[in-house]
A and B are shown apart, each in its own frame.
Chain A
Amino acid sequence: EAQVTQNPRYLITVTGKKLTVTCSQNMNHEYMSWYRQDPGLGLRQIYYSMNVEVTDKGDVPEGYKVSRKEKRNFPLILESPSPNQTSLYFCASSSQRQAGNTIYFGEGSWLTVV
């Protein structure tokens, strides 16, 4: 089954404690991305990657890091989480080879930073 898997789904952590949200896709997609979704602000892109070892900042990259060492994985790293990073996070992937290919989303990760 084609899917994007992210973990953890739910996490409560404390300010300053480094954490990583993993993301893996099994569709051999070149493009992967991280979004955060906050009430009234919609989906905002944090980082994206066009392929292995190629990453770029999205609209709200501050406080986040990513890496793309393998095609299937795209972890999101919060080196020193702060309460304003409390949000719902989505990982997504897409093929860039086919016109009209949609973006597939993971189930989301609810992160609370206290």
Chain B
Amino acid sequence: GQNIDQPTEMTATEGAIVQINCTYQTSGFNGLFWYQQHAGEAPTFLSYNVLDGLEEKGRFSSFLSRSKGYSYLLLKELQMKDSASYLCAVRDRASGTYKYIFGTGTRLKVLA
């Protein structure tokens, strides 16, 4: 079956580094995405991984290991505005169609 697991909630301090983990199971893996979602707003794209390794984009980095079905999002130099939910999503290709499967999200609280 298809499944995505990520922690429900995390807390970190302003200026610190936080790592949000995501594990997934899917039959037709075709890419992994991370999104940021502030309460009541639409998710916004943060990063994309399809090959193993680290993708860096400013204060945000995302890592993928396809053999382990594992990804993490690394946020550096945390700011108060980073308080949000972070969604891990996998694009699955089965029978010629694509499907985006979302985790339930990790709610990150950044404390002063």
Closest to A43 in B: B102
Provide the bound-state CA to CA distance between A94 and B97, in Å.
Answer: 13
Interchain nearest-CB distance for B58 vs A (Å): 17
Give the A-B contact count at a CB cut-off of 8 A.
Answer: 51
Closest to A35 in B: B102
Closest to A105 in B: B42
Tell me the residues in window 12-55 of chain A with beta carbons closer than 8 Å to chain B beta carbons.
31, 33, 35, 40-45, 48, 50
- The reply to whether the CB of B53 lies closer than 8 angstroms to some CB of chain A is no
- The reply to whether the CB of B28 lies closer than 8 angstroms to some CB of chain A is no
Q: Which of A35, A102, A108 is in CB contact (< 8 Å) with B40?
A: A108
- The reply to whether the CB of A103 lies closer than 8 angstroms to some CB of chain B is yes
State whether B97 touches A56 (Cβ < 8 A): yes
Within 8 Å CB of A41, what residues of B? Answer: 104
Chain B positions within 8 Å of A, measured between CB atoms, are 31, 33, 40-45, 48, 50, 87, 89, 97-105
